[in-house]
Structure 1
């Protein structure tokens, strides 16, 4: 089943991805994006060059993206306001901070701090949203460092099963 995942960047607009619903379990909703899946941003559009698996749930302020890029296989976590189901799929408001685990060396970093600071300073996110982003990014980075959650490896397995 085709699902539209919309990622809202303030003030940048809506970025969307056409993905496939593959599962629901205790960890949330799993969406798969095969190579060639359509995406669009306010000033660009294209097709996914690598396969991805996305995990989201409406009671968590993040969405996880397993990115099977041979040049940089990684797990990215989009810190966001809790995702919302829509009539066509899902949407969430991006809060800019992105903890990322790189498979090549196990390195974990939090990306886009500059975008976060700009969004916070310009008033595009409230003080409460900024605090949620900061705390969630640190918590998610720690989960990526410790590898303590079963959904971390489940995402790679599910991505491999879709190929």
Structure 2
């Protein structure tokens, strides 16, 4: 397995990074997996992951999907972002804050982090175009999660469960 670093930029929060294994690349994008114990860094602390995750990224697509194996709240989170780009050591994207989330326990879909979105937009850390992109993509991804008809949605769970 190839180890790659995912850099997630939050405005104004700073840079977060996660060390993952690249497990596949296909027509849907690049698949990364972070088993329990994977290192991460936030501006205020460092740590290791308490749960397994799988991430799907693709250049040009304004979102990154995160399958989260949290036993208390197994979920699929979509990070709406500026399209991810490859870097020397992995991937990078700028988070646009809105996060459509599907909860496995009850099938509920919600869009989280409205407060962070408003703070970034009103604080001048996001352009009007980025704010509009975030809203349109978040609503589209929430609908995609409700329909649950994309094959890659199940593939993410399969990769998470095989970790």
Q: 1:124 matched to which residue of 2?
A: 125
Spell out the pairing of 1:12-91 with structure 2 (5 A cutoff).
12-91=13-92
Q: Distance in 2 between matches of 1:73 and 1:46?
A: 21
Deviation digits for residues 1-53 of structure 1 (CA, Å, limit 9, x no counterpart): 11000000011110000000000001000000000000000001100001000
Which residue number corresponds to residue 158 of structure 2? 157
Q: Secondary structure at the match of 2:71?
A: coil
TM-score, reference length from structure 2: 0.98
Name the structure 1 match of 2:7: 6
- Structure 2: distance between partners of 1:50 and 1:158: 14
Shift of 1:148: 1.7
Q: Which runs of 5+ in 1 are unaligned?
A: none
* Deviation beyond 6 Å, 4+ runs, structure 1: none
User: In the TM superposition, what whole-angstrom CA distance separates every residue of 1:56-103 from its partner, at most 9, and x where no partner exists?
Assistant: 001100000000110000000000000000010000000000000000
Structure 2 alignment gaps of length 5 or more: none
Distance of 1:33 and 1:158 partners within structure 2: 11
Number of paired residues?
A: 162
Find the residue that maps to 1:118 and give its secondary structure.
Answer: helix
Alpha-carbon deviation of 1:131? Answer: 0.3
Q: Secondary structure of 1:125's partner?
A: coil
Q: Write the distance in 1 (CA, Å) between the matches of 2:161 and 2:105.
A: 17
- 1:99 equivalent to 2:100? Answer yes
Distance in 2 between residues matched to 1:43 and 1:24, nearest whole Å: 32
